[in-house]
Every structure is written in structure tokens, then in C-alpha cells.
């Protein structure tokens, strides 16, 4: 089974990327909240007289481009960066930002994972421990609050969702959430099962955010375009339906190989299976955990 998963995932993981060709796109959400898209996870930016607060920082080679994009929003320094979780496409710029004096904040499990060498077994990828300057210097367990730029940022941990250290950010005054990789807009979310992630947790996290939302709420997903209330509802509905379909096979002790042959999610290939996580790849990760 492990060899099957590795063979499905390794090619997409090891594809090289020329960061020199990446352009940073800026999307304005409100007067002082923006979303940046480039390579890796979407970045949230809160700006104002108190300085700049960003959420995630993509890859190290993109730091200069990211700073240049932010400078067009605000000339204030980047005071804080919050890591929604530990993965390298969200924390790759930590070292550069840490060296320039930005305070790194994350869930305590993010610091633990970044502090040691890690092996993402499903990808066959070894990740070296981050240097001290790239580690979060402020960590939290269940909840932490920031009050900056006339905005109340309520940040809360969701258990065993994308990983074991996910943090979701609620911009209360602006009615905006940054959900990190607990939300892939219209796509199957990668679930880091090895480091505590689960389909059940992903669904519960999204349902929790929905319960805190209304029809005008906007969401910055970990990957994908800016989303609205209906987008998140559709995401939850789809994942719950998928969970039900796959669980029926699981109850009958159907092998993964047989499940893949039956193509139980074929109707979602053109939408949810068109992103980083192709349908068979995603089933191979999730099915053994149901």
C-alpha cells in the first residue's frame, strides 16, 4: 500500500519549479486586508498604522517578491507572520523574515515539527530542521488573540484536521477567515495523516467555521481563489458525501486496490480531482484511515 501511494504522489512532488517566473498577485478583500497568491499557500495581509501582520510566507526564494507586493499595500514593517501549519510551502520564508526582525507565531505543534528533521513518508521527502531564526517564537495551544489596525484577530486551533497544528484566523471586524490548508477551494485537500491530519477533522474544522459565518463572510483558502459562504458549504457537503461513499467500502473490508478500480469518485475528477491532489492519490491517502 505504501509503495502504491508513493508511486502516485512522488512525480508531482518532485517536479521542479522556477521561482524566477512566479508572479505575486494581490487581491483586495477589504480596506486593510489583502490576499497574495504566488506559489505555495495563499498569504493573508493585514495592514495599517500598527504595522503589517501576514499569514504564511510561501517559499524562501519568493520573499523579495512578497515583500515588494506588500510594500505596494503598506510601507510599514512586517511585524508578525503567523504560520497556519508547518508545511514548507507555507513556512519557507520564515528564515528570511525572522532575520529581518519579524516575529513568527504558530501553534506549539508547528514549532515542534519545524524544530526537528521530518520525513513526509507519503512523498518520500526528507525535510531538515529549521534554523532557530525560522522557528515560531510565540506559540499557543488552543487560542490566541491579536488586536492590530482596528481589527480583532481571533486565532484558534482545530484538532487533527490538515495536520495536528492547524490554526484558523478570524478577522472579526471584517468578517473574513484565513483557513490555511483546512480549505482547498473546490479541490481535494491534502491531508497529512502522518502528522495528525484526518478527513473527519477537516470536515469538523470547516463546519466550525461555517457556524461562525454568515452569507457575507469571505474566506482565504490555503490554496485556490478567494471563497464565499456558498463555496465553503459546497466543500463541506462534498467531503461529507465522499466520506460516506468511501466508508461503505471500508465497512465491507474492500481493498484499496479494488476501490481504486471501481472509481467511486469519478464524477469529481474534473473539479475536485483537478488540483494538486488527483482523485486516486487522494483516495490512497484517506481510505486507509477511515
Q: Answer whether residue 283 shows pLDDT above 50.
A: yes
134 domain residue, yes or no: yes
262 domain residue, yes or no: no
265 domain residue, yes or no: no
The domain in which residue 49 lies consists of 2-244
Give the pLDDT confidence score for residue 12 in this predicted structure: 38
Give the pLDDT confidence score for residue 120 in this predicted structure: 86
**CATH code of the domain containing 202:** 3.60.15.10
Q: Is the CB of residue 190 less than 8 Å from the CB of residue 276?
A: yes
Question: How many angstroms separate the CA atoms of 236 and 41, rounded?
Answer: 20
* Domains of the chain: total: 1
122 domain residue, yes or no: yes
249 domain residue, yes or no: no
Residue 263: name the closest of 254, 276, 251 by CA: 254
Residue 169: name the closest of 62, 29, 2 by CA: 29
269 domain residue, yes or no: no
253 domain residue, yes or no: no
When comparing pLDDT for 247 and 276, which is higher?
Answer: 247
Q: Is the CB of residue 209 less than 8 Å from the CB of residue 168?
A: yes
284 domain residue, yes or no: no
**Could you give the angle at which helices 229-251 and 199-211 cross, rounded to 10 degrees?**
150
Residues 109-163: pLDDT tens digits? Answer: 999 999 999 988 877 888 999 999 999 999 999 999 999 999 999 999 999 999 9
Banded pLDDT at 16 (limits 50, 70, 90): low
When comparing pLDDT for 281 and 16, which is higher?
Answer: 281
Amino acid at each position: 500500500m505504501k509503495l502504491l501511494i508513493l508511486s502516485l504522489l512522488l512525480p508531482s512532488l518532485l517536479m521542479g519549479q522556477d521561482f524566477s517566473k512566479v508572479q505575486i498577485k494581490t487581491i483586495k478583500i477589504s480596506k486593510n486586508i489583502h490576499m497574495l497568491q504566488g506559489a505555495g499557500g495563499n498569504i493573508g495581509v493585514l495592514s495599517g498604522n500598527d504595522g503589517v501582520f501576514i499569514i504564511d510566507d510561501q517559499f524562501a526564494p519568493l520573499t523579495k517578491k512578497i515583500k515588494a507586493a506588500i510594500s505596494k499595500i503598506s510601507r510599514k514593517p512586517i511585524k508578525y507572520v503567523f504560520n497556519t501549519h508547518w508545511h514548507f510551502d507555507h513556512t519557507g520564508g520564515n528564515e528570511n523574515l525572522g532575520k529581518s526582525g519579524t516575529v513568527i507565531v504558530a501553534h506549539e505543534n508547528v514549532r515542534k515539527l519545524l524544530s526537528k528533521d521530518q520525513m513526509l513518508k507519503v512523498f518520500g521527502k526528507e525535510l531538515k530542521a529549521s534554523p532557530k531564526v525560522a522557528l515560531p517564537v510565540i506559540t499557543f495551544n488552543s487560542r490566541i488573540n491579536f488586536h492590530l489596525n482596528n481589527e480583532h484577530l481571533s486565532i484558534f486551533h482545530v484538532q487533527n484536521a490538515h495536520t495536528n497544528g492547524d490554526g484558523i484566523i478570524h478577522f472579526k471586524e471584517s468578517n473574513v477567515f484565513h483557513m490555511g490548508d483546512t480549505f482547498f477551494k473546490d479541490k481535494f485537500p491534502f491531508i497529512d495523516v502522518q502528522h495528525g491530519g484526518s478527513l473527519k477533522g477537516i470536515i469538523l474544522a470547516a463546519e466550525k467555521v461555517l457556524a461562525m459565518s454568515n452569507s457575507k463572510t469571505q474566506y482565504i483558502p490555503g490554496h485556490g481563489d478567494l471563497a464565499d459562504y456558498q463555496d465553503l458549504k459546497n466543500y463541506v457537503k462534498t467531503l461529507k458525501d465522499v466520506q460516506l461513499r468511501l466508508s461503505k467500502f471500508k465497512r465491507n473490508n474492500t481493498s484499496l486496490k479494488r476501490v481504486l478500480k471501481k472509481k467511486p469518485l469519478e464524477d469529481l475528477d474534473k473539479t475536485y480531482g483537478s488540483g494538486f491532489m488527483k482523485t486516486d492519490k487522494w483516495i490512497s491517502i484517506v481510505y486507509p484511515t477511515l
